[in-house]
Amino acid sequence: MNIELLSQYLVAGITYGTIYAIVAIGFNIIYNATGIINFAQGEFVMLGGMIAVSLHSFMPLPAAILAAVLVAMIIGALIEIIFIRWLVSPSVLRMIIITIGISIFIREAALHVWGEAVRALPYFTGTEVTVISVGDVHISPQVLWVTGISALMVIILTFFFNYTLLGRQMRACSANRDAARLCGISAKNMVTLSFVLSAGIGALAGCVVSPITYVQYDSGTGLAIKGFTVAILGGLGNSTAAIAAGLILGILESFSVWVMPAAFKDVVSISILLLILFVRPSGIFGSVEASRLKEF
């Protein structure tokens, strides 16, 4: 094992990690507002990629991405209004099952709209074979795009949740819905907003990762599983931790290929998920005390 090979595995790990992390952030937003896991998050990612690819055929790339994010946000809002808003104090379990239903619904609808073909946005800079080389280590510029946009998203979200009224209202709803309502916060609107936000962020994630991973009607599921693992690993609700956890998982997976047959790559990530759930359900970076206060 020479240093070049080592670095190449590291770079591969960073690629996986940032993809997982950007998906995990979407999970965290809805969790922060509602305390539930939205299992349709992967489908938002898929929708973003698909819509952007369709729009890109008649508008420039930045416009297509922007429009795709907006469309996904509208879809997110509609889903919340149609399926969730009218429920009277739904239990966590019921909400989770509803989101699973929504994910299947979106997937099947996408199959009918776009068919089973594989699509991808063009690389934001360069082409499929463009690489930035440092010695014998190669990295695709798109990976830098994904990393950069993830970082930007985390900064904006941290600011939003900590320093804006709206963001703090959303957090209040998650912490204690009844108390928040007594303070005059419309909990229902906050939940809608969280779906809009996470759909938008999911869609943006779908756009930036699609040149690397491609997008297909059912590609949301695979991304959602990894994103979910990373969200748990980092501690639910904490987007900065999600990036760190994503990188840890990605690098572990990548090095697992070096020592084990590649077929065991997912065994590694799922084992980590199980281990964390048993040993430290609040996540690596989560607070044990805070998680005790939560319903889920």
Partner 1 sequence: MKAFKMFAVLMLTVMIMAAPALAKDTIKIGAILAVTGPAAFLGAPEAKTLEMMVDEINKKGGIKGSKVELIIKDSGASPEKALSFAKQLIEEDKVFAIIGPSTSGETMKIKGVAEEAKTILMSCAAAEVIVNPVAKYVFKTPQMDKHAVIKIFQQMKEMKLTKAGVLSSNTGFGKAGKEQIEKLAPEHGIQIVANEVYDSKATDLTAEVTKVKAAGAEAIINWSIEPAQSIVIKNARQIGFKGQIFQSHGFGNIKYVEAAGEAAEGVIFPAGRLLIADVLPKNDPQKAVLVKYKKDYESKFKEEASTFGGHAYDAMIILTKAIEKAGKADKEAVRNAIEGLKGVVGTGGVFNFSAQDHNGLDINAFEMLTVKKGKFVPLATPSKKEGSPKKK
Contact positions vs partner 1 (CB under 8 A): 5, 8-9, 11-13, 15-16, 19, 111, 115-120, 122-123, 127-129, 131, 133, 136, 138, 140, 209, 212-214, 216, 218-219, 221-223, 253-255, 257-258, 261-263, 265-266
Residue 190 C-beta: closest distance to partner 1, Å: 32
SS (H, E, C) the chain: CCHHHHHHHHHHHHHHHHHHHHHHHHHHHHHHHHCCCCCCHHHHHHHHHHHHHHHHCCCCHHHHHHHHHHHHHHHHHHHHHHHHCCCCCCCHHHHHHHHHHHHHHHHHHHHHHHCCCCECCCCCCCCCCCCEEECCEEECHHHHHHHHHHHHHHHHHHHHHHHCHHHHHHHHHHHCHHHHHHCCCCHHHHHHHHHHHHHHHHHHHHHHHHHHHCECCCHHHHHHHHHHHHHHHHCCCCHHHHHHHHHHHHHHHHHHHHHCCHHHHHHHHHHHHHHHHHHCCCCCCCCHHHHHCCCC
State the minimum distance, in angstroms, from the CB of residue 49 to partner 1.
Answer: 12
- Measured from the CB atom, the residue of 2 and 89 that comes closer to partner 1 is 2
Give the nearest distance from C-beta 107 to partner 1 in angstroms.
11
For residue 112, the minimal CB distance to partner 1 (Å) is 9
C-beta closer to partner 1: residue 186 or 271: 271
Nearer CB in complex with partner 1: 169/254: 254
Nearer to partner 1, 66 or 131 (CB): 131
80/253 with CB nearer partner 1:
253
Minimal distance in Å, beta carbon 28 to partner 1?
A: 20
**Residue 58 CB, nearest approach to partner 1 (Å):** 17
Nearer to partner 1, 255 or 285 (CB): 255
